[in-house]
Chains A and B, each alone.
Chain A
Amino acid sequence: MSAFDEVTADDSALDALGRGEAAPEGDRLLGMLATWRADLAEGEGAPAIRPAVPVTEDVPDVAEVLPLAPRRHRRRRMLVAAAAAAVLAAGISGVAAAGSARPGDTLWPVTKLVYSDRAASVQAEIATERALRRAETAAAEGRTAEAAEHLATADEQLGRVTSSDAAKRLRERADRLRENDQRVVVPPAPGTTPKPPAGGTAPARPTPSGPVDNPGDNPGDPGNQGGGDKGKDKGRDKVPATRTASVTTTPVLPGNGNGNGHGRNRDQDTAPLVERASPAATVLTTPAQHAVTKPRGQRPASPRRATPPLTIRTLGHAPTSTHTSF
């Protein structure tokens, strides 16, 4: 076989292999080449590629679907808006509902935050109620001093109640309590009652049936013209001072203080003054001083406000709000 024949033979053999034909028997290399070729063509029978012809049938579907997309979007947006509106409405109504919340309610913190004025009023209302209840209980059990103390607290708290309904209701209740238990409440009636002797003689005569003064019923009482509960409180503050003054025989006495309102602790009052004076004098000196110093600044300027509308005989338990020494 010439060299040319060998070249031609190889050429035709490669052509056959290239067409994917089997290799002739006996030639190991050509057999390997044929196997290699078959290996490379692995999986060739599978659908190779999609036809490159443009697809026309699917187009209507696409045209149908396209307008749907924005509509779905719009619906979702509306859902979101509705949800937001619902949340907003819930929040607003919650805050609005918080306006009438009371301590212990779920919305009470909201009330304190948003309606702080109303919250303070509600708290004062509750405090007033509590004080009134205690006063009633104390009065019913005969602890008159305690009852008077609670009543004073109630008056003080009542001044902070802004709700007119509640204030009216509570004031009526307090008034009723004063009327019911005349021994607790002694009318000051400063204009009508005689002044106590300012000297060393203590007002030893108990007047259990002293005129009961309901501040609202006494138009002539100058202390009422200020109209404030605080005015009442202030006036009452002075009472122990007055009383102390008479006990301790301090000459410095406010001019219109009165000592005739001893309706209550009759037993105490009837006790020898000397005995009582010794412990009480030390204790009550502070209020006395208080009463002395106070008029210096205030009394001459506004004598009207100084008149105590009520006189409460509470020697040991004078309204304690200003008595830090207790």
Chain B
Amino acid sequence: MFGEDALTELASRAAAGDSQATADLLTQLRPMIVRYCRARLGRVGGGFVTADDVAQEVCLAVLAALPRYRDMGRPFAAFVFGIAGHKVTDAHRAATRALQVAPVESVPERPDTDVGPEGRALAADLSRQLTALLDRLSPAHREIILLRVAVGLTAEETGVALGMKPGAVRVAQHRALARLRAFAEEEVTA
């Protein structure tokens, strides 16, 4: 990807009011943010629409927070994915609130819980399987894999974003991968 310095330097110029730098920054950031949100939220209701909406909110929040960003030795990616993490948590909370039980007069119709042919095909999908595997990881390990693979941050950037030393990130990601392999073996044998 692009260097940590490049992104941080772009962010410093954008924070100073350079509109061209802001445009470039967003162009580079957005795919990362979208992948992050999609990885965290998955296909809600069969598509990435919800995740992309959250990603859009993250982009807006980053833009709004940009004037407050000062280069203080922290990589900009850590700044962005701190925001993204909070936004995704907010989305989860909102979804939880929306799911809260409300008294209704009649029992609503329920969707068919049987997956059906298309659902089975999708479940057979590798990425679906991986999502199931990732769900079994601890939250810290899952976040590391997510930032490293889905977003494409380096071990150093991931460490800054998560408040870890780069070495600790490397050890943790190794353990996470080992655990995923073990889960995958279980799936195959099961």
A197 within 8 A of B: no
Q: Is the CB of B1 within 8 A of A18?
A: yes
Task: Give the residue name and chain of the B residue nearest to A15 (CB).
Answer: B154
Interface residues in A46-82 by Cβ distance below 8 A to B read 48-49, 51-54
B8 within 8 A of A: no
- Which segment of B24-32, B68-76, B85-93, B98-106 sits at the interface? B24-32
A20 within 8 A of B: yes
Q: Is the CB of B26 within 8 A of A11?
A: no
Number of interface residues, chain A, beta carbon within 8 A: 32
Q: Is the CB of B30 within 8 A of A18?
A: no
B155 within 8 A of A: yes
How far, in angstroms, from A31 to B149 measured CA to CA in the complex? Answer: 12
- Which segment of A35-43, A161-169, A208-216, A238-246 sits at the interface? A35-43
Q: Is the CB of B184 within 8 A of A19?
A: no
How far, in angstroms, from A31 to B59 measured CA to CA in the complex? Answer: 30
A29 within 8 A of B: yes
A222 to chain B, nearest CB (A): 92
A275 to chain B, nearest CB (A): 94
A172 within 8 A of B: no
Q: Is the CB of B149 within 8 A of A37?
A: yes
Q: Is the CB of A36 within 8 A of B130?
A: yes
B15 to chain A, nearest CB (A): 13
Q: Is the CB of B126 within 8 A of A29?
A: no
Task: Give the residue name and chain of the A residue nearest to B134 (CB).
Answer: A36
B96 within 8 A of A: no
Task: Give the residue name and chain of the A residue nearest to B38 (CB).
Answer: A40
Q: Is the CB of A44 within 8 A of B152?
A: no
Interface residues in B121-161 by Cβ distance below 8 A to A read 125-127, 129-131, 133, 145, 148-155
Q: Is the CB of B171 within 8 A of A33?
A: no
How far, in angstroms, from A308 to B170 measured CA to CA in the complex? Answer: 136
Task: Give the residue name and chain of the B residue nearest to A27 (CB).
Answer: B181
Q: Is the CB of A35 within 8 A of B22?
A: no
Task: Give the residue name and chain of the B residue nearest to A3 (CB).
Answer: B174
A164 to chain B, nearest CB (A): 77
A90 to chain B, nearest CB (A): 53
Q: Is the CB of B22 within 8 A of A40?
A: no
Q: In the complex, what residues of B have CB within 8 A of residue A35's CB?
A: 125-127, 130
Task: Give the residue name and chain of the B residue nearest to A45 (CB).
Answer: B31
Which residue of the partner chain, among B30, B152, B177, contacts A48 with CB atoms under 8 Å? Answer: B30
A198 within 8 A of B: no
Q: Is the CB of B19 within 8 A of A52?
A: yes
Q: Is the CB of B149 within 8 A of A18?
A: yes
Q: In the complex, what residues of A have CB within 8 A of residue B152's CB?
A: 18-20
B162 within 8 A of A: no
- Once A14-B149, A42-B48 are accepted as A-B contacts, the answer to whether A19 and B27 lie under 8 Å apart by CB is no
How far, in angstroms, from A49 to B153 measured CA to CA in the complex? Answer: 22
A18-B148, A37-B149 provided; 17 other pairs, C-beta below 8 A?
Answer: A7-B170, A7-B174, A8-B170, A14-B145, A14-B155, A18-B152, A18-B154, A29-B177, A32-B129, A33-B130, A35-B125, A36-B39, A39-B38, A44-B31, A44-B34, A52-B23, A53-B19
Which 7 interchain pairs have the tightest Cβ spacing? Answer: A18-B152, A52-B23, A39-B127, A36-B127, A32-B130, A35-B126, A40-B35
A-B contact pairs, 16 of them (CB 8 A): A11-B170, A14-B148, A14-B173, A15-B155, A18-B149, A18-B153, A31-B126, A33-B130, A36-B39, A36-B130, A36-B131, A39-B125, A40-B35, A40-B38, A48-B31, A53-B20
